[in-house]
Structure formats: structure tokens, C-alpha cells
């Protein structure tokens, strides 16, 4: 019987996993029912450029998933922390050890910014606070006077808020 124990254990595990693999693929059909637009403000305070690059990929995937479900994506990416330093055209103020990661982030951000219905905003208050005075932002970044005021306004227009911290 002890020789059969590993085989029986393996068969028991396979039997437990079979129902999981036989279920339907996950979807968002219930949540998206009746929705025509997917309006979201991404409240972005995360300041690690490598992690920001990954988040830009997730935002792109979210955009595609909405579009593939027949939902019109309407997205605002609101930057308002130290991360505004990564939105400049000229990156001479970025430490050398972060430069590659910031450039990869900028590349991914550019892909998101090109999508129809996407707007990228940076808070002027954060720009001043985090030393961006006199720096020129990328062409696809719109500087707003106060990012929080924008967030309030977008929420009153029906946008949901998702934080990336």
C-alpha cells in the first residue's frame, strides 16, 4: 500500500484540479452589462520608474479589454508626485542609475498616450514642489493647475478613480 500512496495522492490532486480547468474562462460580462463608456482617472503617485512601466502595460491591457468588449475607453492619467520628474522632455536631471528605467517608462507612456480617448495630466503644484520649474514636459502631457481639482471634476463627470501608489 505504501508503494501506491504517491500514485493515489497524484490521482487525488488531478481529480481536484479537473473541475477548475473545466470552468469557463474568466470574463467581465456582468460588470460591463449596459456600459457604453469606460471612464477612469488613474491617480498615479507611484514613483518607481520600473513599476510605472509595468503599470502602463496594465493600463494598455485595460484599454484593450474595454475596447474588445465594445466599451469606449475614456481615460485620464493624472501624475502628481515625484513621478512628474519622469515626464520631462529633457531627462538630464534623472540619476544615471534610473535613466534606463525612466526611458522605458516614457516609451510605454507614449504608447498609452497615443490611444484614442486618453489624456495625460501632470499637476503644476507637484511640478513646483518636486523641482520641475523651468522643465519642459513631453508634448503628450498636459499640465493642469491643480491635479486634485481635475480629479474632483472628472469624478463629477462620471469617471471612476483608480489609484496607482
- Give the whole-number percent of the chain exceeding pLDDT 70: 86
Start-to-end CA distance of the chain, whole Å, equals: 54
pLDDT of 25 reads 84
Which domains, from first to last, does the chain contain? Answer: 35-157 (3.40.1260.10)
pTM of the model: 0.85
The grid coordinates listed for 142 are 498636459
Q: Is the pLDDT of residue 149 over 70?
A: yes
Q: Which residues are bridge partners to 39 per DSSP?
A: 74
Q: In whole angstroms, give the CA distance from residue 93 to residue 160.
A: 34
> What residues contact 106, with CB distance under 8 A and at least 6 apart?
86, 91, 138
Q: In whole angstroms, give the CA distance from residue 90 to residue 111.
A: 19
Instruction: List, for residues 6-56, the tens digit of each pLDDT value.
Output: 544 444 444 545 555 456 788 898 999 999 999 999 999 999 999 999 999
Residue 105's SS3 state is helix
Amino acid at each position: 500500500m505504501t508503494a501506491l500512496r504517491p500514485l493515489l495522492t497524484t490521482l487525488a490532486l488531478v481529480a481536484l484540479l479537473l473541475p477548475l480547468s473545466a470552468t469557463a474562462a474568466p470574463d467581465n460580462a456582468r460588470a460591463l452589462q449596459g456600459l457604453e463608456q469606460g471612464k477612469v482617472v488613474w491617480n498615479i503617485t507611484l514613483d518607481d520608474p520600473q513599476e510605472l512601466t509595468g503599470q502602463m502595460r496594465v493600463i494598455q491591457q485595460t484599454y484593450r479589454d474595454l475596447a474588445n468588449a465594445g466599451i469606449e475607453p475614456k481615460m485620464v492619467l493624472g501624475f502628481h508626485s515625484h513621478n512628474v520628474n519622469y515626464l520631462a522632455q529633457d531627462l538630464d536631471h534623472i540619476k544615471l542609475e534610473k535613466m534606463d528605467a525612466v526611458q522605458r517608462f516614457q516609451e510605454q507612456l507614449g504608447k498609452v498616450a497615443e490611444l484614442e480617448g486618453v489624456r495625460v495630466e501632470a499637476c503644476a503644484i507637484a511640478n513646483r514642489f518636486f523641482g520641475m520649474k523651468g522643465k519642459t514636459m513631453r508634448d503628450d502631457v498636459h499640465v493642469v493647475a491643480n491635479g486634485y481639482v481635475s480629479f474632483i471634476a472628472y469624478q463629477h463627470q462620471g469617471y471612476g478613480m483608480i489609484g496607482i501608489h
